[in-house]
A and B are shown apart, each in its own frame.
Chain A
Amino acid sequence: MNREDFPMLNQDTIYFDSAATSLKPQCVIDKMNDYYTKHTSNIHRGDYTAAEITNREYDGAREVVKEFINAKSSNEIVFTKGSTESLNLVAFGFLKKVLKEGDEILINKGEHASNVLPYLVLQKEIGIKVKYVPLDENYEITVDNVKKMITDKTKVIAIAHISNVIGDIRPINEIGEICKEKDIYFIVDASQSISHIEINVEKCNASFLAFSGHKMLGPTGIGVLYGKEELLNKTEPLLYGGGMNQYFEEDGSYELKSVPSKFEGGTPPIAEVIGLKEAINYINKVGVTKIHEYELELKEYLVSELEKIDNVILYNKSSKSGIVTFNLEGVFSQDTSIYLNHYNIAIRAGNHCTKMLKDELDIRNTCRISMHLYNNKEELDKLVEALKMSKDIFKIVL
């Protein structure tokens, strides 16, 4: 749907790599372009007309994000470079301060590097223990398996809302409920779910929630960390400098601004914040629920077609998102993606930054189709057609 809004589609490309980064609608590009061509200025420090326009475009953004994820206050919305920075801010600005040796963090082997490595570093630095919730036979997370892993020492559960290879929607509301009962910090990586499915930080009781703008029809270089205000107050910034301090004196005294400003030292990514705001406005106009239902319809169609092809191995038939992971029998995933590029079909091959999933899948590298609202059945038919002809793959890739 809404294909006419996405200029990348004018060049005959079939884009199935939205889990890596989404395409951007023209309105987002225009808003950012306007900032660069019509009202370039820094924020909150000019009295001229361009600066006033920039302030107006920029200032509403935090409020728009707040509404979008149902946070209590716009103070709970911190702008970062992306999910990776958001999760690192939680790990090194908050967890490092509140956790003690022997405390346990529960993650799982389907997590993206950015929701694993910071904890492995903490494990090494302060002696916490990283433990893994087992995946079920469909490589998915169940509430029961989470419950089984919780001990008296469990202080944190960190999980992606939708995983980036299997594409399963994790039961975050139920896990959030458990965390509330047991006083466990709950970290949600919403990178793959934001703009695909409704996010409600109150309902899932997230302590922190992270996402990136570029996977939700917005620009690169901007992301969000949501944190409950009382927790953000206890979090230390990773960056010190202009824009985040109240004062600093020769005697070494200083005071930082309050949340969220204390985390946003330096000139912010102004164009990107404006672009993110426009992306959210755009998504709201379409409706997240409608996007989710549409993507599911596409996935079900694709799976049913791929099941008819003998040499296609599917890894995640049952998951309820727009991600389909597969391999061609006997073909290295990268050769498959190079083959599909011959038909102008863009997919992703590799381990998708989930390097521990190989322990569960018994295979290191896969091909991933990931969709968004702008994909359609015609594109899926072309993909299926290309895969049906893949017996000749080496005539094309060699």
Chain B
Amino acid sequence: MNIINDKELRREIILDNYQNPTNRGLTNSSYYLKENTNNESCIDNLDIELKVENDIITDIRFDGEACAISTSATSIMIKTLIGKTTSEARKILQNYDNMIEEKEYDKEILGELIVYDEIYKQPNRKRCALLPRDAIVKMLNRLDESTNLN
């Protein structure tokens, strides 16, 4: 399967993740970190929850209202990051950011997130694609700060 070259397949992946997103619905549990992420220039507004145990991301959940790109990116990101260590997750998120911002990046570790590799052609949608990344990075930073305090 080569999703990079198959436009129809990419669209299907995005659409499927928009219409049937992974892990929609929050737990509101104290075992999760929670972060709101919204797009000042438009109307996307998502809450994302993150659970990390022994440095491994064991769950991510989300809820809110957002466009097809934001919602699908959140869903794909959730699938990609669950099971990864926090440093693996940071690496993936950094690469994802580089891809969206048209910098050099490692295609191999992005998995299905690669479907957004042409989003730079619609500059006003870059923020939509980056929305879940922002929240997850913030939560990983919070986690680091609290670990350093201990």
Q: Does A166 contact B (CB under 8 A)?
A: no
Stretch at the interface among B29-37, B62-70, B78-86, B134-142: B62-70
**B15: interface (CB < 8 Å):** yes
Query: A180-218, CB under 8 A of B: which get 1 and which 0?
Result: 000000000000000000000000000000000000000
Q: Select B43's contact among A338, A349, A398, beta carbons within 8 Å.
A: A349
B49 at the interface (CB under 8 A from A): no
Interface residues of A in 305-364 (CB under 8 A from B): 332-335, 338, 349-351, 364
Q: Within the complex, what minimum Cβ distance (angstroms) separates A220 from chain B? A: 18
Interface residues of B in 9-59 (CB under 8 A from A): 10-11, 14-15, 18, 42-45
The number of residues on chain B lying at the interface, defined by a beta carbon within 8 Å of a beta carbon of chain A, is 16
Chain B positions within 8 Å of A334 at CB level = 42-44, 67
The answer on a CB contact under 8 Å between B68 and A394 is yes
Q: Please name the residue on chain B nearest to A333 by beta carbon.
A: B43
Residue A45 interfacial (CB < 8 Å)? no
Interchain CB contact (< 8 A) of A350 among B14, B18, B42: B42
Q: With A and B bound together, what is the CA distance between A349 and B14 in angstroms? A: 21
Q: Mark A363-377, 1 if CB is under 8 A from B, else 0.
A: 011000000000000
CA A351 to CA B66, docked complex, whole Å:
12
**Complex: A303 Cα to B97 Cα, angstroms:** 43
User: In chain B, what residue has the closest Cβ to A331?
Assistant: B68
CB of A1 closer than 8 Å to a CB of B: no
Q: Within 8 Å CB of B71, what residues of A?
A: 332
With the chains together, A338 CA to B67 CA distance in Å? 10
Q: In the complex, A333 Cα to B68 Cα: how many Å?
A: 10
Interface flag for A395 (CB, 8 Å): yes
Shortest Cβ distance from B60 into chain A, in angstroms?
21
- How far is the CB of B36 from the nearest CB of chain A, in Å? 14
Q: Are A398 and B44 in contact (CB under 8 A)?
A: no
Give the docked Cα–Cα distance between A395 and B10 (Å): 11
Cβ of B27 to closest chain A Cβ, rounded Å: 22
Contact of B11 among A338, A365, A395 (CB under 8 A): A395
Closest to A336 in B: B67
Q: Which residues of B contact A120 (CB under 8 A)?
A: none
Known interface pairs A394-B15, A395-B11, A398-B15; A365-B43 also in contact (CB < 8 Å): yes
Q: Across the interface, do A350 and B43 meet the contact criterion of CB distance under 8 Å?
A: yes
**In the complex the two chains form, is B68's CB within 8 Å of A398's CB?**
yes
In the bound complex, do residue B11 and residue A332 qualify as a contact, i.e. CB atoms below 8 Å apart?
A: no
| B63 smallest CB distance to A (angstroms) | 13
A117 within 8 A of B: no
List 15 additional contacts besides A335-B68, A338-B125; criterion CB under 8 Å.
A332-B65, A332-B67, A332-B71, A334-B44, A334-B67, A350-B42, A350-B43, A364-B43, A365-B43, A394-B11, A394-B15, A394-B18, A394-B68, A397-B68, A398-B15
Q: Please give the residue numbers on chain A whose beta carbons come within 8 Å of chain B beta carbons, in ascending order.
A: 332-335, 338, 349-351, 364-365, 394-395, 397-398
Q: Which 10 A-B pairs have the closest CB atoms?
A: A350-B43, A334-B67, A398-B11, A332-B67, A398-B14, A335-B68, A365-B43, A335-B67, A394-B15, A364-B65
